[in-house]
Amino acid sequence: MSKKNSLLLGIFIALIIFLPGYSKLQKLRDKNRLLNNKIETLNKENKELAHQIERLEADPFYIEKKARDKMGIGKSGEIRYKIIREREEEDVKDKDRNR
């Protein structure tokens, strides 16, 4: 066997041995990248929630606003408007038709 054929055979065997491992490495890198993105997103959400907790513990006006928004109650003399988006309008019309 010539040196050229031996070299090609060696490269071929190396590819057979290392290619599956390299493919798995790439998949693990992709998974790692996705998990790091998820961690970053969760850290941002965690900071936002921590900030909201701080405000709920310290700011009575914020507590009042959140409670009024959640319950749909306005202050005395306050006029509340509900904005209905197109999709919601269609759902309301469909509900009215089915009655």
Task: Express each pLDDT in 37-67 by its tens digit.
Answer: 999 999 999 999 999 999 989 998 888 888 8
The pTM is what?
Answer: 0.52
- Separation CA 80–CA 58 (nearest Å): 26
**Residue-wise DSSP of 41-78:** HHHHHHHHHHHHHHHHHH-HHHHHHHHHHHHT---TT-
| pLDDT score recorded for residue 96 | 60
Question: Mean of the pLDDT values across residues 90-95?
Answer: 60
- Extract the tokens encoding 21: 């491992």
| pLDDT score recorded for residue 88 | 57
Work out the pLDDT band at 91, boundaries 50, 70, 90.
Answer: low
The structural domains of the chain, with segments of one domain joined by +, span 3-97
- Extract the tokens encoding 93: 């019309």
Question: Mean of the pLDDT values across residues 63-92?
Answer: 76
